[in-house]
């Protein structure tokens, strides 16, 4: 049976909103652009769990010439989690439809442990047989070992996976691993792609 694997950020949830990042920057006490550069500078290490939450925010603080207190770190973790929880209603509907079609669903996301825990607690995850996060796989997309770890976890062959992601480099990585990779640009487009791969039936009117 085919697996359908959804990315999380930008697919199931919206990208971070400006207001979310602004709140983080205010706690950090730095301008938005300066904070954002520091936030992303060591994010992959955080996503792979090479850094825990305290070490990550210390590294961000070092980039900003700041030392965060334990209370500030706790607040930054809380706000960071919330910034990744703006779910897309259209994708949630697509997830429900795909699950209803009898497919096995998995999630593959680059996420640190606190975000992974927050996402895993969301009700929509009840439709998924597997939730795979970079922090637990100790590898992040688009690294080849991340896709190998996913296939090992699913116990399936690459061609039995339809993989949806909004980042072209992650789609290319999945395709290189032998998966049927789809560049997600919206739920209607993704639904058409799933119909093309025989997962869903295309509506008679071509709509979503």
pLDDT tens-digit series, residues 158-183: 999 999 999 999 999 999 999 999 99
DSSP result, 132-180: EEHHHHT--TTSHHHHHHHHHHHTS-GGGEEEEESSHHHHHHHHHTT-E
Q: How confident is the model at residue 204, as a pLDDT?
A: 47
Class of domain 3-14+86-196: alpha beta
> Tens of pLDDT along 63-81?
999 999 999 999 999 999 9
Residue-wise pLDDT tens digits, 8-33: 999 999 999 999 999 999 999 999 99
Q: Do 156 and 4 touch, CB atoms closer than 8 A?
A: no
User: Can you give the pLDDT at residue 205?
Assistant: 54
The domain limits of the chain are 3-14+86-196, 18-83
Distance CA 166, CA 200 (A): 20
Residue 11: what are its φ and ψ, rounded to 5°?
A: -120, -65
Examine the pLDDT at 123 and tell me if it is beyond 80: yes
Q: Work out the pLDDT band at 1, boundaries 50, 70, 90.
A: confident
pTM for the whole thing?
Answer: 0.94
């Amino acid at each position: 049976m085919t697996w359908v694997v959804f990315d999380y950020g930008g697919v199931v949830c919206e990208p971070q909103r400006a207001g979310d990042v602004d709140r983080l920057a205010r706690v950090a006490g730095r301008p938005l652009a300066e904070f954002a550069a520091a936030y992303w500078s060591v994010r992959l290490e955080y996503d792979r769990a090479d850094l825990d939450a305290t070490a990550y925010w210390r590294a961000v603080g070092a980039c900003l010439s700041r030392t965060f207190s334990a209370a500030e770190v706790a607040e930054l973790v809380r706000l960071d989690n919330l910034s990744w929880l703006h779910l897309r209603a259209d994708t949630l509907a697509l997830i429900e439809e795909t699950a209803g079609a009898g497919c096995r669903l998995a999630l593959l996301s680059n996420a640190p442990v606190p975000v992974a825990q927050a996402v895993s607690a969301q009700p929509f995850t009840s439709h998924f047989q597997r939730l795979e996060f970079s922090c637990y796989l100790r590898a992040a997309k688009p690294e080849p070992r991340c896709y190998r770890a996913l296939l090992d976890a699913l116990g399936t062959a690459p061609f039995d996976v339809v993989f949806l992601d909004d980042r072209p480099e992650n789609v290319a990585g999945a395709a290189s691993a032998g998966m049927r990779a789809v560049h997600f640009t919206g739920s209607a487009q993704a639904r058409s792609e799933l119909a093309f791969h025989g997962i869903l039936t295309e509506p008679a009117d071509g709509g979503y």
